[in-house]
Chains A and B, each alone.
Chain A
Amino acid sequence: MFEDHHIVLWLLGLPLLSAVVVWCLGPTRGPAIRAVSFASSVVVLLLTAMLIVRFLAISGERSPVTEDTVHQESKIHTFKPEFVPGASAEDRHKTTWNILSFGRGQIQFYLGVDGLNIWLIVLTALLMLPSVLVSFRQITERVNEFYAWLLALQTCMIGVFLAFDIVLFYVFFEVSLIPLFFLIGIWGGSRRQYAARKFFIYTLAGSLITLLGVIGVVIACSPDASSKLTFSIPELVHEVHKNLENEDTRGYWSAVQLWTFLALSLGFAIKVPLIPFHTWLPLAHVEAPTAGSVDLAGVLLKIGSYGFLRLCIPLAPDFTLVNGLPIITWLAAIGVVYGALCAFAQDDVKRLIAYSSVSHLGLCMLGLFSLNAIGIQGGIMQMINHGLSTAALFLLIGMLYERYHTRQLKDYSGMASKMPLFAICLVFASLSSVGLPGLNGFIGEFLCLAGIYQYEVIDRQQRILPILTVLGASGLILGAWYLFTMLRKLLFGELREPSHEGEPITDLTVREWGLLTPIFILCVVIGFYPRPILHTTEPDVERIGLIVKQARKRAGLSIDPPPLVTGRADVR
């Protein structure tokens, strides 16, 4: 009765619908607005749960590696989205729904789910719930508009992840800026307008360049007036690979890739953010309301890393492999250390956590750009884990700010004796963030490091000093350094509260710890049982692996570089 692709459509439609309803309720009917928003996010979360169950059921058959290994080598690989609404009868991975048809092509309403995006969609849905709940008391003005923008933001974020049409992707990518622009600009802190403007213009500038890349790829894929224009990402990837494998067109395409890579990566690099394009982030975080920070850190930053994975690597594989990889990995590795150092020097807790995002996403990018299965899986894990732990940290800081109206570390001391439950939650979130084994953070960090280490030692034959790995690993020490210093200053020592007026300060309320509990449970579950995630992402990571493998062959790099130690036993 409720088919798979209906879930996909409802995921996209329901938040938007709720946004409209909430808006129409008017600013005075607070309880009704909150109820609708809450109900909507719960339903969306349930829908994603259904999505996972159904996706897990089919993910066993999704592996691109078939028995036919001879055929495998020459096969052209591309993405295979599942649960596509409007799927055509002959191919369930393609859609028939056109938004706009013109001359040589059509822009399609092409949505789908695969291993690369499913967990990011889940993350979006999961973080919506605490975002809504935490704002119950924090937001008192223009309530309807706030929740409407928040819900609209959810639609945009889910849309970006779901989209398999490059124009649709781009539209969601751009439109997601608008709700956040208003969330920061209206309900933000004292410098909210500057922050909102900077965030908007900076990321817009990046994504306009991305647009150039998008147009470039589409046009390059149809070289003459007679050929069809396609906007479907799987088809574009397929097209690019066909041309690259073809001796005649390879020369032209190698040149095209340079521009594709530059244009796409600049926009995504700003979004991730890679240094030195990160300075909008601390500012936006500090000024954003808690819900905005949660969505910004938890989900929006992942659009950047997801973009690299979905578009940049598959559409410009040769250039990524040969030229892009050294640049991006170095930026990421430096970002790990630099972000951590900047985080340590901050006195504003939100700024501190914002810089920690720069550091953590540096490690994520290191994993993704190691371009091997382990690294990419680690990168995806790191995206999810960073979303969970950073969201928890922002939520907690938001709760503290709600009570004392300051986020300066120097104003606080020994808060653990005043708010023990808060202290436990903050310590837990910090432990998740520093990658304590047994919690979620470790899985991602470990796999990212393993991936980049494999890249350096095997692919680059860098045996003496694998510097990228060392820089990445130093992030683990530095991460513990700034977070545990923050904990010591904020929670431990003699109690010193900032001055506050009004009602007496209480520990976390039921609503507050209740909204954190799902995140924490997930932290433990992923820490001890990451298999569902690793299992579902594997087939699509393999696809990217095969794309990269072919690129390696074209670049004249050996596909099976010599191992570190010869004569090792076969591993099963």
Chain B
Amino acid sequence: MSDAVYSILWLIPVLPLLAATLIAFLGPRLLKQHSHWPCILAIATSCVLSVMVYWHVQGAEGDAPASVASYYPWIQAGSGPYAVNIGINLRADALSSMMLVMITFIGTFIAIYSIGYMHGDPGYPRFFAAVSLFVFAMTLLVLGDNFLVLFVGWEGVGLCSYLLIGFWFSKPSAAAAARKAFLVTRIGDVGLMLGMLLLWMMYGTFNFWDVNDAEGNLLYSGIFNQVERQLQLGTLNQALILAAALLLFCGAAGKSAQFPLHVWLPDAMEGPTPVSALIHAATMVTAGVYLLARCTPLFLAAPDAQLIVACIGGFTALMAALTALTQNDLKRVLAYSTLSQLGYMFLALGCAIKFASDTNLVTFAVTAAMFHLFTHAFFKALLFLCAGSVMHAMGHVIDMRRFSGLRKVMPITHATFLCGALALAGFPLLSGFWSKDEILDACYQASQEGPYASVYFTLLVIAIFTAGLTAFYTFRAYFKTFWGEVKVPEEAFHHGHGHDDHGQGHSASHGGHHEPKTSHESPAVMTIPLLVLAVFAVGVGFVLGPLTHGFAHFLHKTPGWPHMTEEHHMNIPLMLMGTAVVFFGLGLSWLMYVKQPELPVRLAASAQGVYQLSLNKFFFDELYQGTIVTPAEQVAKLSAAVDSGGVDAVVDAVGLAPSKLGELFRPIQNGLVQFYALAMVLGLTVFLLSLIYKL
């Protein structure tokens, strides 16, 4: 453990936290339109520190290239076998340092982009405060060395997501979307919490790994060490491990928007577009993937859970891709594409099964998932930022039916979007191609043997089919936006570039050089991040992918991932098949949206049922509204009615009892002396008679 890393680790989350605090307190009065400075400086510094940590891990020798820094004991309660003993412990290993670099790097450029995008918004300081807070929570999430620290980050990113989705809170749809996102992910979070508690009951700790002190004595024992030990000894309780794995997956599914908890993510597009890029594409939504990758030793021991993960992932990938086919809102197409790609990642994670003693596939599949997460972060962030650039120019119109032919109007945005779209579609040699191919390969390998081979084979077919769909819907969006005749909506000419529909107003940002009836490229502060991300979206797979194994070799240093006994070789036939499907999807969308634009309309008319199903997102919202939300509201109303009409009425009745009882006897006290005399005589007679006859 290096002292240098030990001493800087805490700075990575704390710097953005400081920035957030600074902006929150000084922003509205002092910093105002300069509020981005603390945010960008903090995230950029964190990025530099993250790269340092990365190099440290890269250079570390041996099996345990991890630094654990424990700062202070946080929650301590109880004693004996069921003590709760949780420290603020941070861990820097391959997995977390890779995540850190990605989060802070993309975060920096998105923050820079936001200077242009959010310019003039009255909530400018609030935006940057929330973004800084988000980076704090997200870095804490990936740095945490126990479930509780992870959970702090986990809920923290959820909070920031809530605050940023509802950024334009006067808009009822944004307010509703923010609440929905928080509640739906919270359902998953409770699952995660119960999973944590179950693991604690089983292993008496919340730590991931054993922590030793300088002399090598055990300071804390970790869950994963114990799981590994039990796996070796064969004393593992399969049912409990399965339950724990599934509960953790609940949390992952909520955060990463997997079926059936996926409904919040498309609505989350109500937030500002940089937020969609940062939180709802590149980082936060991948937290679930990270969690499962982190818990590899656990999931390794629960093959049944893996099957469920793979099936949910495959289903989400397909369902979201089908929905994306017909969406008219550019951002929603991208949102469903995110769902679909996250589904791919979970599919890959679910393929991490071991055959007898062969654990090669485990590491390969998890690496594939993480690699896709990595490449996806770049190209999807890029695509969202391009969509934001389009929105910025179109006066916040994002409906693809209302603009087209923008490749002439916005050349940089067009070129960078094309890079992102090709990468997403999996065009050969671009980043998405490599990572998607690895996922398909993992799926293929999983379908080779084992009791669930046929299920994995079906999933492979679904994955390949979805790859074609991905190419199709991505280029449908691309062609609809950038090709065809130039069409620009009315709103683009009203000065002030949108925000108007949010009632926020927008100060005359380009007042000086505004010419009517033209729309133009976004400012440099927005296009430069686009260019940077485009370079990464194109090249990252080539440089780090299967050609060099750079990514894989680095990530394999993560503790708990089984060693790969043999180098992975590219599966050329599968790669060719994947490529063919991609070209087919690409060609079809070219045919339908460039060559014969009337074709989609006819197709939609001829397959009305399927078209409506896709257009309405398979009616999940309506289904949940009918089966969960409305009944819950009815039950709540019923409870309130029972409470005031039932429980409280009983209380009032009991309260009335004494006076009612009094009324019952009131007639006796009628004040007539004759009556009293009569009662006395009668009473005496009864008394005497009872004495005489010994009744």
**Chain A interface (Cβ < 8 Å from any Cβ of B):** 198, 201-202, 275-276, 278-280, 338, 341-342, 344-346, 372-374, 377-378, 414, 416-417, 431, 436-438, 442-443, 446-447, 449-450, 453-454, 457-458, 463, 469-470, 473-474, 476-477, 480-481, 484-485, 487-488, 491-495, 528-531, 534-535, 538, 542, 563-572
Contacts and interface: CB of A to CB of B under 8 A. Distances in A.
Contacts of B220: 571-572
B81 interface: yes
B623 interface: no
B607 interface: no
Interface in B206-225: 218-221, 225
A414 B156 contact: no
B84 interface: yes
B648 A279 contact: yes
Given A378-B77, A572-B218, A450 B639 contact: no
Contacts of A443: 75
A453 to B, nearest CB: 5
A545 to B, nearest CB: 9
A542 B79 CA distance: 9
Interface stretch (B192-200, B355-363, B417-425, B459-467): B192-200
Contacts of A346: 640
B73 A531 contact: yes
Contacts of A484: 179, 182-183
B553 to A, nearest CB: 32
Given A342-B636, A492-B175, A572-B219, 15 more contacts: A202-B655, A279-B651, A341-B635, A342-B639, A416-B170, A437-B152, A476-B186, A480-B182, A480-B183, A481-B632, A488-B175, A494-B170, A494-B503, A563-B81, A572-B218
A454 B77 CA distance: 13
B532 interface: no
Contact of B202 (A438, A530, A535, A568): A568
A352 B555 CA distance: 50
Nearest to A202: B651
A280 B647 CA distance: 11
A83 to B, nearest CB: 24
A571 B79 CA distance: 10
| Majority SS at the chain B contact face | helix
B45 interface: no
A453 B81 contact: no
A86 B156 CA distance: 50
A414 B186 CA distance: 24
Contact of B186 (A372, A450, A477, A570): A477
Contacts of A449: 193, 197
B175 A493 contact: yes
A347 B204 CA distance: 44
12 contacts: A198-B651, A202-B651, A345-B639, A431-B159, A437-B151, A437-B156, A447-B75, A457-B201, A534-B76, A563-B81, A569-B225, A571-B85
Report the 7 A-B pairs with minimum CB-CB distance, sorted nearest first.
A492-B175, A345-B640, A279-B648, A373-B78, A341-B639, A344-B636, A374-B78
A564 B81 CA distance: 11
Contacts of B84: 374, 447, 450
B271 to A, nearest CB: 13
B183 A564 contact: no
Interface residues of B, number: 73
A136 to B, nearest CB: 26
B221 A450 contact: no
Contact of B643 (A342, A436, A487): A342
A429 B43 CA distance: 28
B295 interface: no
B226 interface: yes
A535 B74 CA distance: 11
A201 B655 contact: yes
Given A374-B84, A437-B156, A469-B197, A488 B202 contact: no
Interface of B: 72-79, 81-85, 148, 151-152, 154-156, 159, 166, 169-172, 174-176, 178-179, 182-183, 186-187, 189-190, 193-194, 197, 200-205, 218-221, 225-226, 229-230, 233, 235, 237, 240, 503, 632-633, 635-637, 639-641, 643-644, 647-648, 650-651, 655
A567 B172 CA distance: 55
A414 B651 contact: no
A114 B282 CA distance: 51
B183 A477 contact: yes
Contacts of A344: 633, 636
Given A488-B175, A566-B235, A528 B201 contact: no
Contacts of A280: 651
Nearest to B162: A484
Contacts of A431: 159
A569 B78 contact: no
A528 B140 CA distance: 14
A494 B502 CA distance: 10
A278 B651 CA distance: 10
A56 to B, nearest CB: 15
Query: Which of A463, A491, A492 has the most chain B CB within a 10 Å cutoff?
Result: A492
B156 A453 contact: no
Nearest to B241: A565
A1 to B, nearest CB: 35
A422 B175 CA distance: 17
Given A342-B639, A345-B636, A495 B170 contact: yes
A443 B204 CA distance: 18
Given A345-B636, A443-B75, A458-B82, A571 B170 contact: no
Given A345-B636, A372-B82, A470-B194, A570 B221 contact: yes
A374 B201 CA distance: 13
Contacts of B154: 437
Contacts of A473: 190, 193-194
Contact of B170 (A275, A414, A442, A564): A414
Contact of B201 (A341, A438, A453, A542): A453
A344 B639 CA distance: 10
B647 A279 contact: yes
A571 B235 contact: no
A345 B72 CA distance: 42
Contacts of B203: 565, 568-569
A492 B170 contact: yes
A219 to B, nearest CB: 28
A454 B197 CA distance: 9
Given A279-B647, A534-B76, A437 B204 contact: no
A494 B168 CA distance: 11
Contacts of B205: 571
A370 to B, nearest CB: 11
Contacts of A377: 77-78
Query: Which of B154, B170, B220 has the most chain A CB within a 10 Å cutoff?
Result: B170
Given A457-B201, A488-B176, A569 B186 contact: no
Query: Which of B152, B169, B644 has the most chain A CB within a 10 Å cutoff?
Result: B169
